[in-house]
Amino acid sequence: MSQSDQPQGRSRREFLKNTGRVAGAAALVGSTAPHLYAAENNTIQLALVGAGGRGTGAAANALASTAGPTRLVAMADVFDNRLNNSHRALSGRFSGSVDVPEDRRFIGFEAYREAMDCLSPGDVVILTTPPAFRWVQFTYAIEKGLNVFMEKPITVDGPSSRKMLALGEQSVKKNMKVGVGLMCRHCKARQELFRRIKDGQIGDVLELRAYRMAGPTGSAATGKVPKGKSELMHQISRFHAFLWLSGGAVSDFLIHNIDESCWIKDAWPVQAEASGGRHYRGDDVDQNFDSYSLEYTFGDGTKLLVNGRTIPGCNQRFASLAHGSKGSAVISARGHAPSRARIYKGWNMTKENLVWSFPGKEPNPYQVEWDDLLTAIRRDEPYNEVRRGAEASLVTAMGRMAAHTGQIITRDQMLACEHEFAPTVDRLKLDGPSPLKANADGTYPVPMPGLLKDREYGSLA
């Protein structure tokens, strides 16, 4: 819908707000208003920027939402095969809500602009590219007056964190609705657990523990650039392997456990001390450690202990736990969803000590976060998760830097760190160089704790 198509004298945001009120009234009268959403003006249009697996999943949640009609009208990526596969999958599942002809499928580093140009103020752009590009694309979304859903993490280093915090303030001033993909905070079971812990049901929170220990995950372990392939495009296709693109395994995989634990504590840690290492690597040339042990300290001295591992053949565990002066709690038991949130008396989490568990089936938090965002858009309610998402990304990076340097890193040190992984990220070209160059033997610079103390990788010279 173009600006000229809007009802005269009313903005699209106002129109959606008012139709959201009508939707609430229609729910009371049931079948007397069966065509409430028939008007084109009431359909929130979507553009997907980053059409990989997570982007396709986010778009599916948006199209499946019960919070009023949505339509996907534009898509962008740097890989045409990923875009086409995503389009095929979404069209097959949501044939009536996907309207993305070939001339609205854009390829390249500027494709995000072309996709957003297909939207009107009040519509939603989905930003699910590797996190390195988040601040660049969010800047343009603010210029366009679009609402945003962006995947986590939303920053990867100190400079990008400072940029995102400033952009977040701009988006609040513009009344933008922005969701960040830390969906665990939208989990109904965890929300009830949070309320019970705030009510004192496990006493004072004394310690938190979190684990994400699995085999090789995502593209975190990666070999050398194949002959004849662009180094830049290879790195983007294997983005978990490179710190400039994703923040690596810690930022992309451990952030959920760190964020949900900080939420339950209702505070952000002020410093981190950590260790980790690279073990039997074979031909892998990525920048990740195979294991991480992070110790976060909150302002009151409470500790959050986080263990991450991506080594095959080892015991696997995926959980977050809280221990209090009166009892203990399961924040998540075996993954993100369902959480299987529980409260126990004492610290022995046995069946006979169970005090509370979430009743019934847990709603899917990936869907709930979209329902919450779209509802806020239609009701024009304050809804902006940028600062929380930036803080979660920052403290996760703080733990990562502590492991990679072998130093105690404070939150303020992490935010002030001047090591910008990709200072040219806003100027990349499809046929251009990468911000990260391979060594002569095809390997990449890796963290060297104790040797490099003020940055996570680079030359010792």
Q: Give tens-digit pLDDT for 159-191.
A: 999 999 999 999 999 999 999 999 999 999 999
**Residue 207 CB neighbours (<10 A):** 15
Measure Cα distances from 305 to 206, 309, 319, 320, 438 in Å: 12, 14, 12, 10, 34
In sign, the C-alpha dihedral spanning 453, 274, 398, 366 is: positive
Lookup: tokens for 51: 């059409």
Euclidean distance between CA atoms 63 and 75, whole angstroms: 14
Dihedrals phi, psi of 94, to nearest 5 degrees: -130, 60
Euclidean distance between CA atoms 266 and 41, whole angstroms: 40
Euclidean distance between CA atoms 177 and 185, whole angstroms: 17
Q: What is the pLDDT of residue 343?
A: 98
Q: Which long-range contacts (CB under 8 A, 24 or more apart) does 442-445 make?
A: 442/224, 442/225, 442/285, 443/224, 443/285, 444/242, 444/285, 444/286, 444/287, 445/287
Euclidean distance between CA atoms 229 and 135, whole angstroms: 27
Q: What is the pLDDT of residue 384?
A: 98
Secondary structure of the chain as H, E, C letters: CCHHHCCCCCCHHHHHHHHHHHHHHHHHHHHHCCCCCCCHHHCEEEEEECCCHHHHHHHHHHHHCCCCCEEEEEEEECCHHHHHHHHHHHHHHCCCCECCCHHHEEECCCHHHHHHCCCCCCCEEEECCCHHHHHHHHHHHHHHCCEEEECCCCCCCHHHHHHHHHHHHHHHHCCCCEEECCHHHHCHHHHHHHHHHHCCCCCCEEEEEEEEEECCCCCCCCCCCCCCCCHHHHHHHCHHHCHHHHCHHHHHHHHHHHHHHHHHHCCCCCEEEEEEECCCCCCCCCCCCCEEEEEEECCCCCEEEEEEEECCCCCCEEEEEEEECCEEEEEECCCCCCCCCEEEECCCCCHHHEEEECCCCCCCHHHHHHHHHHHHHHHCCCCECHHHHHHHHHHHHHHHHHHHHCCCEEHHHHHHCCCCCCCCHHHCCCCCCCCCCCCCCCCCCCCCCCCCCCCCCCCCC
Low-confidence ranges of the chain (pLDDT < 50): 1-11, 15, 19-40
Nearest to 66 by CA among 374, 279, 356, 305: 374
Nearest to 444 by CA among 274, 208, 280, 231: 231
Q: What residue ranges define each of the domains in the chain, with the CATH number in brackets?
A: 3-184+367-384 (3.40.50.720), 188-363+393-427 (3.30.360.10)
Lookup: tokens for 361: 């089936």
Q: What is the pLDDT of residue 2?
A: 34
